[in-house]
Amino acid sequence: MIFGKIEYLNLLPFHLFLKRALRHGIEKKAWQKRGSVPSRINRAFEARRVDAAVISSIKSRGRECTDFGIVADGEVMSVLVLPGKSRRDTDSDTSNALASLLGIEGEVMIGDKALRYRLANPGEGIDLAEAWKERTGLPFVFARLCAHSRHIRRLRRLTQRFFTSPPKIPYRILRREAKARGLNAAELRNYLNKIYYRLGWREKRALKRFLRNERRGRRKR
């Protein structure tokens, strides 16, 4: 099974888990080589160049997915709309759609660069997960772990193992990953505490609402 890998800090715990859980050297090598941004991973998954990936939630409609996702219940810090001319983030699919759905204009910025911006400019811009929570009272699901049909059973077993025994991030790895992104370990730990990965009934309700409203919005435009 070939995984597509999003090279963002929000998946650091899952990356550590996969590094240990993937059974074959060829799988690990392929996973390590396929790191990219969400929009490119979405295209690789759709083209079947990868068998499984954490894909943008807006692209998960009609796919076979697990209960693993990237979720924030309020402030997330890494998905922002900045003041100024409206501009989409080419790395994103879901966040661009969310900004449009919420009627928030400006420059969409996601991922590690958005996290660095928010830390350097506290309070500037709009946190889209926070805006969604204020509007709906629900968490927001940014992405889901999905697979093509013949791999979904194995993927569900893997994610259940992750939920049962989530890895602890050694401080040396936390510090190394933070330094590589221009952060410190405390900032990275605080950021990861804002994210969780299991989709329960509230998260699935929120996802359904987002997908339904986004589709309605596109039909009106």
Q: Judge whether 90 lies within some domain.
A: no
Q: Is residue 210 part of a domain?
A: no
User: What range does the domain containing 23 cover?
Assistant: 3-70+140-199
List the CATH number of the domain containing 14: 3.40.190.10
Confirm whether 108 is domain-assigned: no
CA dist 55 → 20, 36, 126 (Å):
21, 11, 23
104 three-state secondary structure? coil
Give Cα 48 to chain centroid, integer Å.
20
Q: Is 53 exposed, middle or buried (0-12, 13-18, 19+ CB in 10 A)?
A: buried
The two tokens of residue 121 are 């400019």
- Domain total of the chain: 1
Residue 111 three-state SS: helix
Rounded Cα distance between 215 and 221, Å, is: 10
Closest among 123, 120, 122, 99 to 109, alpha carbons compared: 99
- Least Cα distance to 22 among 7, 34, 10, 36 occurs for 34
Q: What is the reported pTM?
A: 0.92
Structural domain includes residue 123: no
Q: Is residue 209 part of a domain?
A: no
Q: Is residue 219 part of a domain?
A: no
Q: What is the pLDDT along the chain (221 residues), one digit of tens a residue?
A: 788 777 889 999 998 898 887 765 555 555 555 567 788 889 989 999 888 899 999 999 999 999 999 999 999 999 999 998 889 988 888 999 999 999 999 999 999 999 999 999 998 999 999 999 999 999 999 999 999 988 899 889 999 999 999 889 999 999 999 999 999 999 999 999 999 999 999 999 999 999 999 887 666 65
